[in-house]
Amino acid sequence: MELYGYVVSDWGAALQTIENANGGLDCEMPGPAKTWGENLVKAVKDNKVEEALINDKVKRILRIAKF
């Protein structure tokens, strides 16, 4: 069985950008982004989070948006 979905933080619980991104979190709640956004862009530029990992997160979220 293949499961479709993405991982969302508990409300206000996403406090660490790099650890959350590398640990499997796909979506920080609530918006606007506190640890994602520019912090995540910087983490990718600094090679602390792989761009391919971000692409996978986006694909998971967009797959659900199609439903």
Segment 4-63, tens digit of pLDDT:
889 999 998 999 999 999 999 999 998 888 889 999 999 999 999 999 999 999 999 999
0.85 exceeded by the pTM? no
Give 48's contacts (C-beta < 8 A, 6+ positions apart). Answer: 18, 22
Catalytic residue among 10, 26, 46, 56: 10
pLDDT at 44: 98
- Clarify whether 46 is annotated catalytic: no
- How does DSSP assign 6-60, residue by residue? --B--TT----HHHHHHHT--B-SSSSPSSSTHHHHHHHHTTSS-HHHHHHHHHH
pLDDT at residue number 21: 96
pLDDT for the residue 3: 73
